[in-house]
Structure 1
Amino acid sequence: MSGAGGLSGPDSRVETISRLAQWRIDTFGPCSYRRSDAFKLGIWNWYLSVEKSRSIYVRLFPEPGRVAKERPPLARFVLRATWAGPPRRSCVSPVHEQLLRSSDDFVWQADVMSQGRFTIDVEFFDLRVATNNATESSSSIWPNECTAVQNVASKSTLGCLSRLLTESIHVDVTINTTDGVLKAHKAILAACSPVFESMFLHDLKEKESSTINIDDMCLESCSALLGFIYGTIKQDQFWKHRLLLLAAANKYNISDIKDCCEESLLEDINSSNVLERLHVAWLYQLEKLKKGCLAYLFVFGKIYDVRDEINSFFHHADRELMLEMFQEVLTVWKPI
């Protein structure tokens, strides 16, 4: 690797969102080698480096140190090199699964190269802590990062509430779902939701009959809702039902569930779900999720990955949402 100024430069910053890292390089200048600034994803600090000869050679590696040595990352990821053009050109790597300890462990050769400004994307599908270099014994770091559910639902003080639900101790309200019946407690439901509280305070049919009809949730998803309220929900149960939990949280004004769902949906945005997430964010007025989706599409340039789906999206999207998307384009667009 050669060239003066081979380390950091004025455009060495790597931007990150969700599981995507993006490095924009305006020019190599007189050098043939560039290294990015450090960026944080998972529990590691990372670097990207690019070497220019007849092709572009991209390296991804963790920052040397105790964390990388004692808990080396086993990463599953894909890289993309995109030249602004005109014409716009891209080169996408295969999906790699690689144990990464140093800059010697991985290098990707881009098949095409153009002149001028270009972008390197790294999208992580999974990050695992390798144990004894064995893939099968590694553990993913991301499920452990979704602590919002665990912090709310795993406290020891919820043990008694869990027993009330699982053992049906002194239940006093029946919940009818689309395909089954559940039992719960008026006081607990009222304490977590002002909507439920209103049902039992005023002379409504729910107070008189001690019955709530939830006709937009099945038994399984409603069990997940009660599981969150009582502290019995499991991580995989939350992930499976989080969109329905978000709808219920919005309907019954349960802010803790709504906030937790928004954080979770923001965590794993990708090209296959970003338009759905954007619609959900608009529907339930989730500003953080909406800004994350718009940034993913326009700031990080992933709008090109969903151009086949965007026409259908525009046919059903709210006009105010389309206006916000257009304003985002005007904000981030810069003449080449």
Structure 2
Amino acid sequence: MSVSNHENRKSRSSSGSMNIQLFHKTSHADSLLTHLNLLRKRRIFTDVVLRAGNRAFHCHRAVLASCSRYFEAMFSGGMRESQDQEVNFHDSLHPEVLELLLDYAYSARVIINEENAESLLEAGDMLQFHDIRDASAEFLEKNLHPSNCLGMMLLSDAHQCQRLYELSWRMCLANFASLYRTEDFLHLPKDKLQELIFSEELEVEDESLVYEAVIDWVKSDVERKLGDLPELLRCVRLALLPESYLLKNVASEDRICSFL
């Protein structure tokens, strides 16, 4: 049928008004992803290889760019990788975690559990799979506990998960009396320890506990942390300590004198 004949037929059938119908197949998106995933597994039309560790993943640039601003910028900008047929993450990304991200890109599904949630959050943030980062943060929020809140505080702070950070921060303040005796506490960065002990919301029955926490933190690596002691002690409310405690533990104790 010629274009002119088609136009004539359309005008005759319309009688001055156009009858239209919207066809929308709701399963089309799932069907499309399923077929793209099959093409990926068969390495049909794939145009880039992602490498992590000793594994290689054949993918479609268009799919990756549609799911990740990281890949969109990489493939569309002036970066060297925009022309390369291979992107190698070396050991900066675990291959099993990358596989989970790719499975999500091609299926809109991923299983998050206690073993992979932190890694997925980190990788999701790194590759800008923001939905994965946020879903992993939500999972960790639901599994937040005094035993892991220090680690969650640092993780969420590094990857800009504001709600997880606020929840873990409050839990750290509320459980400081037990947390300062843990290995996680001894590995806190100085700035985070300083923020904790300086907070007006720190829940401790006795300021001597804060003093002991600072001393224990320094003693865990005296050579590296000794220079931080004076600044940390300024955050301890020494005026709240009994005079007897000050004389015994602060003014005359050998360990504190040697540090200062």
TM-score normalised by the shorter chain: which range applies?
0.5 to 0.7
| TM-score under structure 2 length normalisation | 0.58
Aligned residue pairs, count: 177
Residue 206 (structure 2) pairs with residue 330 (structure 1): no
Decide which of 184, 189, 204 is 1:317's aligned counterpart: 189
Structure with bigger strand share is 1
Q: Distance in 1 between matches of 2:57 and 2:133?
A: 22
Tell me if structure 1 keeps the 8 A contact 2:53–2:93. yes
Letter in 2 for 1:309: T
Which residue of structure 2 lines up, in the alignment, with residue 304 of structure 1? 177
Which residue of structure 2 lines up, in the alignment, with residue 12 of structure 1? none
- Match of 2:180, SS state, is helix
Letter in 2 for 1:330: E
Cα 1:157–1:307, aligned 2, differ >3 Å: closer, same or farther?
farther
Q: Distance in 2 between matches of 1:234 and 1:203?
A: 31
Residue 145 (structure 2) pairs with residue 270 (structure 1): yes
CA RMSD of aligned residues (A): 2.9
C-alpha displacement of 1:163 = 2.9
Letter in 2 for 1:169: I
Q: Unaligned stretches of 5+ in structure 2?
A: 1-28, 207-260
Q: Distance in 2 between matches of 1:316 and 1:331?
A: 19
Decide which of 109, 112, 119 is 1:244's aligned counterpart: 119
Q: Distance in 2 between matches of 1:234 and 1:256?
A: 11
- Match of 2:54, SS state, is coil
Cα 1:189–1:333, aligned 2, differ >3 Å: closer, same or farther?
same
Q: Distance in 2 between matches of 1:222 and 1:162?
A: 15
Q: Distance in 1 between matches of 2:67 and 2:110?
A: 19
C-alpha displacement of 1:189 = 0.9
Task: Write the mapping of 1:147-296 to structure 2, written as runs, cut at 5 A.
Answer: 158-215=33-90, 216-231=92-107, 233-235=109-111, 239-296=114-171
Which residue of structure 1 lines up, in the alignment, with residue 243 of structure 2? none
Tell me if structure 2 keeps the 8 A contact 1:179–1:218. no
Letter in 2 for 1:231: S
Letter in 2 for 1:302: N
Q: Distance in 1 between matches of 2:87 and 2:31?
A: 29
Q: Distance in 2 between matches of 1:240 and 1:314?
A: 24
- 1:311-333 deviation per Cα after TM superposition (whole angstroms, max 9, x unaligned): x53554251x3344245x51365
Tell me if structure 2 keeps the 8 A contact 1:224–1:241. no
Q: Distance in 2 between matches of 1:226 and 1:325?
A: 39
Tell me if structure 1 keeps the 8 A contact 2:176–2:204. no
Q: Distance in 2 between matches of 1:163 and 1:203?
A: 30
Tell me if structure 2 keeps the 8 A contact 1:242–1:261. yes
- Match of 1:308, SS state, is coil
- 1:59-105 deviation per Cα after TM superposition (whole angstroms, max 9, x unaligned): xxxxxxxxxxxxxxxxxxxxxxxxxxxxxxxxxxxxxxxxxxxxxxx
C-alpha displacement of 1:161 = 4.0
C-alpha displacement of 1:334 = 8.9
Q: Unaligned stretches of 5+ in structure 1?
A: 1-153
Q: Distance in 1 between matches of 2:115 and 2:108?
A: 15
Which structure has the higher relative contact order (CA within 8 Å, separation 6+)? Answer: 1
Q: Distance in 1 between matches of 2:204 and 2:123?
A: 41
C-alpha displacement of 1:268 = 0.3
Tell me if structure 2 keeps the 8 A contact 1:168–1:184. yes
Cα 1:230–1:294, aligned 2, differ >3 Å: closer, same or farther?
same
Q: Distance in 1 between matches of 2:62 and 2:79?
A: 16
Cα 1:323–1:271, aligned 2, differ >3 Å: closer, same or farther?
same
Tell me if structure 1 keeps the 8 A contact 2:69–2:128. yes
| TM-score under structure 1 length normalisation | 0.46
C-alpha displacement of 1:253 = 2.2
Q: Distance in 1 between matches of 2:196 and 2:36?
A: 44
